[in-house]
Amino acid sequence: MSTRNQIFRLLVEHKGESVSGEAIGAALGISRAAVWKGISALREEGYPIEAITNKGYSLGGDRDYLSAGEIEGLLRPSALGFEIRVFDSVESTNRTAKELALSDPDHGIAVVANRQTAGRGRLGRSFYSPEDTGLYMSLLFRPTFDMRHAILVTTAASVAVVRAIESLCPVKLSIKWVNDIYLKDKKICGILTEALTNFETGGVDYVVLGIGVNCFESDFPSEISSIAGNLGGGFSRNQLAAEILNQWTMMLPDIEDRLFLEEYRQRSGLLGKEILVYPPGIQDESGVSAQALDIDRDGGLVVRYLDGPKLGLTETLSGGEVSVRKVV
């Protein structure tokens, strides 16, 4: 763990209190100059660290701070190979992860941010990412499985995130195919999977798995206020980030065994319901009515059309966008 992360973890552990530079140095076995250098680096990243004469340094006590050290301390053995990078603000955690891939790391990287200024969802949509209220993280890793079944990454990640959240919160969640997680009728999490390909080999060098969770109460913009919700708190975002990584890395080696698919089916908020099927990139009145029947072994959604030119036909969707039609 870097000196900067060690200092931040110590300050988080003493949140709301003042810790002298001497005490920090003694606890970490570093010089006062190294303490000052670490404090300066944290301030440059936007963390509001106060220095009080004759008392020391402190973080405000009313904020749920993200800490690489705290996250690392909560990881299980399966996740210890991931390097944790925490930022106060980024344009997009997926973009930052892809930039880090340029260094060709031989280990996984987890990018975690307090805020995104240009968070992205599927089909080019934006993802509202205000500071202090959500967990925005992207996992960069080399795939060890056949990327012809890439949709399995997103479906498996959905199950991992649900398991992580339910281990920390007294809630029951459902999954909307393929990448949205709901609490009752409100979306609380979105997942975006991207692949980084090698033009020389034609293969996939890295996968970037982006996860955005609405953790605490927030004032959502009017255009999403009717559909977006939050978990309501009762946990720290460091706990949630660590548990998502724990659950994902335990699932990752066996992803092609598809053992998670039955749980994905059981948690589906669509199966048996009437839905609207939209062509990729289209969200208007052209949706076609269908019934969601099943999730196939590759994570595709099996539907039977209820109207339109495909009336009565059964089809497996591997992409596109579906919406649940509310029953009046």
pLDDT tens string for the chain (328 positions)? 678 888 988 888 888 889 999 999 999 999 989 999 999 988 887 778 888 888 899 887 677 889 888 899 899 999 999 999 999 899 999 999 999 999 989 899 999 999 999 887 766 677 888 889 999 999 999 987 777 777 889 999 999 999 999 999 999 999 999 889 999 999 999 999 998 877 766 678 899 999 999 999 888 998 888 999 999 989 999 999 999 999 999 999 889 899 999 999 999 999 999 998 887 655 556 788 999 999 999 899 999 999 988 999 999 998 766 776 544 3
Could you write out the three-class secondary structure of the chain?
Answer: CCHHHHHHHHHHHCCCCCECHHHHHHHHCCCHHHHHHHHHHHHHCCCCEEEECCCEEEECCCCCCCCHHHHHHCCCHHHCCEEEEEECCECCHHHHHHHHHCCCCCCEEEEEECCECCCECHHHCECCCCCCCEEEEEEEECCCCCHHHCHHHHHHHHHHHHHHHHHHCCCCEEEECCCEEEECCEEEEEEEEEEEECCCCCCEEEEEEEEEEECCCCCCCCCCCCCECCCCCCCCHHHHHHHHHHHHHHHHHHHHHCCCHHHHHHHECCCCCEEEEECCCCCCCCCEEEEEEEECCCCCEEEEECCCCCCCCEEEECCCEEEECCCC
In this structure, are 193 and 301 located in the same domain? no
Domain end point (choices 14, 29, 59): 59
In this structure, are 148 and 241 located in the same domain? yes
Predicted pLDDT at 327 = 47
Could you give the number of structural domains in the chain? 3
In this structure, are 39 and 162 located in the same domain? no
Predicted pLDDT at 151 = 82
The CATH number of the domain holding residue 254 is 3.30.930.10
Predicted pLDDT at 53 = 84
In this structure, are 102 and 195 located in the same domain? yes
In this structure, are 133 and 172 located in the same domain? yes
User: Which structural domain range is residue 230 located in?
Assistant: 68-267
Domain end point (choices 267, 293, 311): 267
In this structure, are 54 and 73 located in the same domain? no
In this structure, are 100 and 221 located in the same domain? yes
In this structure, are 182 and 40 located in the same domain? no
Predicted pLDDT at 145 = 78
In this structure, are 240 and 289 located in the same domain? no
Predicted pLDDT at 202 = 66
In this structure, are 198 and 125 located in the same domain? yes
In this structure, are 281 and 263 located in the same domain? no
In this structure, are 169 and 73 located in the same domain? yes
Domain end point (choices 249, 267, 285): 267
The CATH number of the domain holding residue 19 is 1.10.10.10
The CATH number of the domain holding residue 278 is 2.30.30
